Amino acid sequence: MKNFIEVTELKKVFGNGEDEVHAFGPATININAGEFVSVLGPSGCGKSTLMLMVAGLLDSTSGKVEFENKLVNGPKTDIGIMFQDNTLVPWRTVKGNIELQLELRGLNLKDYQEQINNILKSVNLDDFADRFPNELSGGMQQRAAFCQAMIHDPKIILLDEPLGKLDAMTREKIRADFQKLWMVKKPTVIFVTHSIEEAVQLSNRVILITPRPGKIDREIKIDLPYPRDLKVKRSPKFAEYVNSIQEVFHKYGVI
Amino acid sequence: MKKFIKWIASGWMLILFFIGFFLFWEYSIPLFDIPRYILPSPSEIVLKGSADLDKLIYYTGVTALETVLGYIIALILGVGFGIAISFSSILRRTLYPFFVSIEMTPKIAFAPLFISWFGFGLMPKVIIVVLVCFFPIVLNAILAFNSLSNELTLFYQSTGASRLKTFFSIRLPAALPQCFVGFKYAAINATVGATIAEFIGSDKGLGFYISIVTGNMRPDLAFAGIFFLTVLGLTIFGFVTMMEKILIPWHISMKRINK
Ligand SMILES: Nc1ncnc2c1ncn2[C@@H]1O[C@H](COP(=O)(O)OP(=O)(O)OP(=O)(O)O)[C@@H](O)[C@H]1O
Ligand SMILES: [Mg+2]
């Protein structure tokens, strides 16, 4: 049986001649429907590049991406994607920015009012619905961008370091909420992160990428029960996973 | 609150400066014995100017019509061409470099030619104002419509929104702040264009008035004309600034916070 997402020998080289930068690959990744996969790797190894190619927003140099046997050859629109830099527009409020996603997709705003309130509440931004992005802190902007990426309830979710700018506590809370959401709706998730703990806590599988040009060093299946609450996080098995990943990056001199 | 007090303080300083400036002007004329046909005093300008008020108001209207008409035409053409050039790679390789090279020539140098081609009427003045205003507007509009951030481009692509929807929801509002840079610059230049066009050839308008009274050794009336011209320029600029505040309030507040 074919996999839900198949990334085959995917490679990206930016520029040409002297300016050539080999950013990623070649790498092959298979992902099942409903699977939560984290992509972990040092800065500049091509994680964002990989994500954009999977979303069909960046042409690959060679190789291919397929969703359910269908080749990706243009922007995929049936996804939720959160970019590394937020996509909030300064002329709309937090709520207006979330609605922008719906408007661009031609969805009816009235049907989503309750969902907007709920998702804002879940990231503690309900009091800031009518504020403009420049009135928010960096972490609050990131939370608003998270809501913007998720509001249309996508079945495929690509997140590029969505929690990177958050304080430890908020980060913990949103992780837990996101895990709950994933357990209920079972979307397929590709989650780019710098945090080893975060990857282990959330994922079915963690893909470790080598320094640039990023290739797959190894994939680690995380065999821990969901929900992975504090008890699981304190278990020796959890620590073992974290340690083994740390060792890999230690080998590369990244940590 | 602190900022408000600061603002009041700086505002008062400016007013005091102006009062001081005009007082100095008023009293340095008898003091240094400057003949009135060289430089009249402010009080004399007000006195003689108000005697000629009807004419001044009528001529202000004439110049205002030329300026505003030319400015609006330049606005429509400039934004139109700006959008067309931003979205067409052919135009970007042909019209755009053409406009950039024309931008280098001082447009006002064409004024005598236009007067000789189109006569003394309204049209040549309007054309000159259009010419003076068009280039800053179109060049800033091109810049504006080409500077959408990479993320926002990717974002709308991932939604599958139509080009028209993207234009009104993202591209246009994102472009407005940079467009207004051009609009404001053009607003400053618009009255300059109209005045010089009137200097060169006309039978009414503030530029015509100033050149005639200067020829008649009446600098007092020339200053009165300049005053009305200044008021006209400030009004147009103030209107554009007000439109900016109304259309892109988010941009103004952003600037304030960044300070
Ligand atoms: N548009 C581009 N043009 C040229 N080079 C690029 C471009 N985008 C990325 N690169 C290069 O490709 C490499 C990988 O970049 P990428 O953004 O994918 O890294 P990353 O793994 O996401 O890093 P980080 O964790 O810091 O976000 C980098 O060396 C970068 O300089
Ligand atoms: Mg990145």
Q: What is the pLDDT of residues B133-167, one digit of tens each?
A: 999 999 999 999 998 999 999 999 999 999 999 99
Contact B158 A57 (CB under 8 A): yes
Measured between its terminal Cα atoms, the distance across chain B in Å is: 15
d(CA B77, CA B71): 10
B137-176 residues touching A, CB cutoff 8 A: 149, 151-152, 154-161, 165-166, 169-170, 173-174
Q: Which domains does chain A have, with CATH numbers?
A: 5-78+155-251 (3.40.50.300), 88-154 (no CATH)
Specify whether the backbone of A88 is left (phi greater than 0), alpha (psi in -120 to 50) or beta. Answer: beta
What would the pLDDT profile of B179-222 be if each residue is shown by its tens digit? Answer: 999 999 999 999 999 999 999 888 899 999 999 999 999 999 99
Q: Are strands A188-193 and A36-40 parallel, antiparallel or unpaired?
A: parallel
d(CA B62, CA B203): 10
Helices (H), A125-210: 138-150, 168-185, 196-202
Q: Judge whether residue B66 has pLDDT over 90.
A: yes
Q: Report residue A28 as tokens.
A: 């092959």
Nearest CA to ligand 1 atom 10: A23
Distances (CA, A) of B157 to A5, A11, A21, A186, B154: 20, 22, 25, 25, 5
Q: Judge whether residue B256 has pLDDT over 70.
A: no
Please list every residue in chain B whose beta carbon sits closer than 8 Å to the beta carbon of residue A90.
250-251, 254
Mean pLDDT of chain B: 90
Q: Judge whether residue B34 has pLDDT over 70.
A: yes
Contact A103 B169 (CB under 8 A): yes
A40: nearest Cα among A214, A199, A253: A199
Contact B161 A90 (CB under 8 A): no
- What is the dihedral angle through the alpha carbons of A239, A205, A42, A26, rounded to the nearest 10 degrees? 150
ipTM: 0.90
Sign of CA dihedral A160, A166, A169, A174: negative
Please list every residue in chain B whose beta carbon sits closer than 8 Å to the beta carbon of residue A132.
250, 253
Residue indicated by tokens 């029960």: A225
* pLDDT confidence of residue B37: 84
Kindly list the domain boundaries of chain B, sorted by start residue.
52-248
d(CA A153, CA A118): 13
Chain centroid, CA A43 distance in Å: 15
Please list every residue in chain A whose beta carbon sits closer than 8 Å to the beta carbon of residue B157.
57, 75
Q: Report residue B25 as tokens.
A: 């002007």
Q: Is the CB of A16 under 6 A from ligand 1?
A: no
* Residue A120 backbone phi and psi in degrees, to 5: -65, -40
Angle between helices A138-150 and A113-122 (to 10 degrees): 140
d(CA A66, CA A70): 5
d(CA A183, CA A226): 8
Q: Is the CB of A45 under 6 A from ligand 1?
A: yes
Contact call for residues A103 and B169 (beta carbons, < 8 A)? yes
Q: Which residues of chain A are under the pLDDT cut of 50?
A: none
Q: Is the CB of A115 under 6 A from ligand 1?
A: no
Contact call for residues B111 and B167 (beta carbons, < 8 A)? no
Beta strands in chain B (DSSP E): none
Contacts across the A-B interface (CB distance below 8 Å): 64
User: Residue A43: nearest ligand to its CA?
Assistant: 1
B64: nearest Cα among B245, B258, B233: B233
Atom nearest to A12 CA in ligand 1:
12
Continuous segment of H or E residues that includes residue A219: strand A216-221
Contact B173 A81 (CB under 8 A): no
What is the pLDDT confidence band of residue B259, given thresholds at 50, 70 and 90? very low
Specify the CATH number of the domain B52-248: 1.10.3720.10
* pLDDT confidence of residue B253: 60
Residue A127 contacts B where some CB pair is shorter than 8 Å: no
- Percentage of the residues of chain B whose pLDDT score is greater than 90: 70
What would the pLDDT profile of A116-160 be if each residue is shown by its tens digit? Answer: 999 999 888 999 999 999 999 888 999 999 999 999 999 999 999
Sign of CA dihedral B180, B181, B182, B187: positive
Q: Which amino acid is at A52?
A: L
d(CA A191, CA A36): 8
How deeply is A144 buried, as exposed, middle or buried, from its count of CB atoms within 10 A (0-12, 13-18, 19+)? buried
* pLDDT confidence of residue B104: 86
Nearest CA to ligand 1 atom 13: A23
What is the pLDDT confidence band of residue B257, given thresholds at 50, 70 and 90? low
* pLDDT confidence of residue A207: 95
